Amino acid sequence: MKKLHRPLLVAAACALVMGGAGPGLAKDAKDKDKDKKESSAAVKAAREFNKDPYPSSYRVYPGAATALVGATVFDGKGGRIERGTVLFRDGKVVALGGADLPVPEGYQRVDATGKFVTPGIIDAHSHLGDYPSPGVEAHSDGNEATAPTTPEVWAEHSVWPQDPGFTRAMANGGVTALHVLPGSANLMGGRGVTLKNVPARTVQGMKFPAAPYTLKMACGENPKRVYGSKGRAPSTRMGNFAYNRATWLKAQDYRRKRDEGKLESRDLAMETLAGVLEGEILIQNHCYRADEMALVLDMAKEFGYKVATFHHAVEAYKIGDLLKASDTCSAVWADWWGFKMEAYDAIPENAGLLYKAGACVVIHSDDENGIQRLNQEAAKAQGDARRAGVDISDAEVVRWLTLNPAKAVGIDQLTGSLDAGKAADVVLWNGNPLSNYSRPEKVWVDGALLFDSGNPKHRPVTDFELGQPGEGDVK
């Protein structure tokens, strides 16, 4: 097939002008003073803008001081305690210990003998709310596929809090926090948002307080297919890189001008990219192939940013050494395979071989059904690793679902393990979570009991499901 040589850089430059500061119009001399004043105000606005204009309005729900006693406890950071005791009150973990840890007065005691406790499960890659159920065209809000780089869009502005998927993720998956990303049509798809998995009327009511913003980027087939098929750049992997690099140059320039007080207006796209260069916004990079991940790591060095996490990363097992060296997490499926060319080398031992290489492993879903079974996906990966000669303890595998995803999205100081002082995001499982047979029995978010399998009134029903067949069913 004949390939057209596309005028890549010209196209890139044109697109970037759109997002950049527009040229000023010619002015009369008498307007100069006024201009100067306005200009300095604009310069100030460009430098001192509100970085949190849609702040979290999440309020912790009331919870009782609770002692979970007698369970096998996975602490989320690789530890395991038999017949453990977990204490939490006022939304925070108070203490974690063995059977000898005394339960102070005033705690409601939950007999968890024979059951299991983990920190709340965290999905580092979800599109719940942005691609909600029902999956009708009118709900397709995850890809602003109208320009190859859209760092100006924010996933939170698409989140529909009434997506029934949130409730299933909690009831079946024990998910207490999730990172919602734009899709991968674009090289730079926009900002991601981290949510508490709490039913709310607004997305602000779900936003995880103090979680950093993230930027979704995408390698490989998707951006080049989406834009190449429209007869525009990028249409190749090399086009992807040229477009990204041109955009980062623009961002560096923007940041320098801003710091020098030379900007006359704000630019939403560049503010996001400057935030990345300053280390405030974490890069979440969709990337399948090992060779492309290696190139992305060099691109990050070239422009002075860090890739927090590669998402999907089905070939991460080929470069575990590089990923360890760069301290980049890989958020992977257990065994998705072969659905597209860049997934052809996926293997079920990906997580296990990454672990063996000492790299950060995260099990993610990218799926409204998979998010309900992240625990099982991790267990499958553990079994495949074992058969490949890599024995990994249950407690380490639970870390792939808790502290590691928390690290991947920058909330590991707040949640992800049962350390005293962290959020009391806790799941009581009716059996070992690394099993197809186990389900959450109770789920607490910040110490508030928000799901209880034994109490129908503690089973959330979204607005969409009211009055529909099966309303309030166990699902």
Partner 1 sequence: MSARKLSLALAALLTSVAAPALAQDIAITNATVVIGDGSAPIAGGTVVVRSGKVVAAGAGVAVPAGIRTIDAGGKWVTPGLVVAITDLGLVDVEAVDESNDGNSGKSPFSAALDIAPAINPVAQPIAISRAAGVTRAAVAPLDTGAIFGGQGAIIDLGADNQAVTQPRAFQYVDLGETGARRAGGSRVAVHAVLRNALIEARELARRGGGTGADPRLADTAPERPGDALLNRFDAAALIPVVAGRQPLYVRAERAADIRIALALKTDFPALKLVIVGATEGWMAARDLAASGVPVLATPLNDLPASFEQLGATQSNVGRMAAAGVKVALGAFFDQPRHAPQYAGNLVGLTKVPGATGLSWDKAFAAISSVPAEIIGQGDKFGSLKPGRAGDVVIWDGDPLEAGSGVTQVFIDGVEQPLSNRQTRLRDRYQTPTEGALPKAYDW
Binding site for partner 1 (CB under 8 A): 133-136, 164-165, 168, 172, 221, 317-321, 335, 337-341, 343-349, 353, 357, 368-369, 372-373, 376, 379-380, 382-384, 386-389, 430-431, 434-439, 453-454, 456, 464-465, 468-470, 473-475
Which CB atom, from 216 or from 356, has the smaller least distance to partner 1? 356
Which CB atom, from 342 or from 446, has the smaller least distance to partner 1? 342
Which CB atom, from 214 or from 372, has the smaller least distance to partner 1? 372
Query: What HEC string does 167-213 produce?
Result: HHHHHHHCEEEEEECCCCCCCEEEEEEEEECCCCCCCCCCECCCCCC
Q: Report the nearest approach of partner 1 to the CB of residue 155 (Å).
A: 20
Q: Report the nearest approach of partner 1 to the CB of residue 445 (Å).
A: 20
Distance of CA 430 to CAs 87, 112, 369, Å?
19, 9, 20
Q: How many CA atoms lie within 13 A of 260 on its CB side?
A: 7
SS3 35: helix
Residues ≥6 apart with Cβ < 8 Å to 38: none
218 pairs with which residues across the strands? 286
Which CB atom, from 204 or from 453, has the smaller least distance to partner 1? 453
Kindly report the backbone phi and psi dihedral angles of residue 453, in degrees, each rounded to the nearest multiple of 5, phi listed first.
-65, -20
Q: Report the nearest approach of partner 1 to the CB of residue 353 (Å).
A: 6
Name residue 359's amino acid: A
Q: Report the nearest approach of partner 1 to the CB of residue 272 (Å).
A: 30
Q: Report the nearest approach of partner 1 to the CB of residue 401 (Å).
A: 13
Q: Report the nearest approach of partner 1 to the CB of residue 350 (Å).
A: 9
Residues ≥6 apart with Cβ < 8 Å to 105: none
C-alpha dihedral (445, 173, 108, 394), degrees to nearest 10: -110
Q: In this structure, what DSSP letter does residue 371 have?
A: G
Which CB atom, from 194 or from 372, has the smaller least distance to partner 1? 372
Which CB atom, from 152 or from 349, has the smaller least distance to partner 1? 349
